[in-house]
Structure 1
Amino acid sequence: MEQDDRRTRTTVSLINYHFVFCPRYRRKVLVNEVEERFKERVTEICEENEWVIVAMEVMPDHCHLFLNCLPTHSPSDIMAKVKGVTSRRLRQEFKHLSHLVSLWTRSFFVSTAGNVSSETIKRYVESQKTRG
């Protein structure tokens, strides 16, 4: 019986990741058709993995991606999938990118965000002993 309970548990969470990542050498390659295809590819990847795109902004030399996902997906795994798939497919599709070994740098920025501020959480935690 206990084993059945574990299989039916649902994870409830609100984890939002803000990623910023850049093409190698900060090349301004995310323009025109490349930008459009990149957005389409990222949307496909996110749908396949059940990640919700909260916001996405693509600049010629970097990208901001704000995602909501379950805690079972680590930021490193998310970036590996997004950067790996988009690099391979965009280099296959666009001749002027095909000479690049990789489209992206190995690094990225990530931060977490939620619907409440750190100060709100701190007040909530501190007030727990005084609650009735």
Structure 2
Amino acid sequence: MTRKVRRFSGGVYDLGLHVVWCSKYRRPVIAGPVAERLEQLIRSKADERGWEIITVEVMPDHVHLFVKHDPKASASYVANQFKGYTSRVLREEFPHLKSRLPTLWSSSYLAASAGAVSADTVQRYIDTQWERPWKKKEEDA
């Protein structure tokens, strides 16, 4: 995947988030037409917010989502936008989801930042700032 940096008035950003959430009690209720509709809803919510879906995988009892989002959206906001919207619409469209579960999604989720470089690379870059060639030239002057 090539890196695509986005711009806004205050700077540039490239924020990726891996979000995972599960159905209540991990019940395998996300299958067939429900799974297809869930993926459509996830994509429409991302379009509405201006976020980019890199990949989405809908499993019978959980969802994996890799999304690029704007810097003003926190990880919890991103996760809750997808969970709240999809729960409301799916439970309206598929009545069996109301009868089998008190809520569609578990209250918890995983949100992990994902970038183009590893944490070790960033740490090494920061730790070696004073070793840059232009820094050594300034010290010699």
For residues 51-66 of structure 1, the aligned pairs below 5 Å read 51-66=51-66
Question: How many pairs were matched up?
Answer: 125
Partner SS, residue 43 of structure 1: helix
Q: Under a length normalisation based on structure 2, what TM-score does the superposition of the two structures give?
A: 0.84
**Match in the other structure for 1:73:** 73
For residues 4-15 of structure 1, the aligned pairs below 5 Å read 9-15=9-15
**Match in the other structure for 2:104:** 103
Of 9-18 and 52-61, the range deviating more from structure 2: 9-18
Q: Under a length normalisation based on structure 1, what TM-score does the superposition of the two structures give?
A: 0.89
For residues 38-57 of structure 1, the aligned pairs below 5 Å read 38-57=38-57
Larger radius of gyration: 2
Partner SS, residue 58 of structure 2: strand
Aligned-residue Cα RMSD (Å) equals 1.3
Alignment deviations for residues 11-31 of structure 1 (CA, whole Å, 9 cap, x no partner): 311111111100001010110
Alignment deviations for residues 92-125 of structure 1 (CA, whole Å, 9 cap, x no partner): 1012112233200110011111001112112211
Alignment deviations for residues 31-71 of structure 1 (CA, whole Å, 9 cap, x no partner): 00000000000000000001111111111011101111112
Partners of 1:111 and 1:95 lie apart in 2 by 32
More strand by share: 2
Question: What residue ranges of structure 2 are gaps of 5+ in the alignment?
Answer: 1-7, 135-141
| Percent of residue pairs identical | 40
Question: What residue ranges of structure 1 are gaps of 5+ in the alignment?
Answer: 1-7
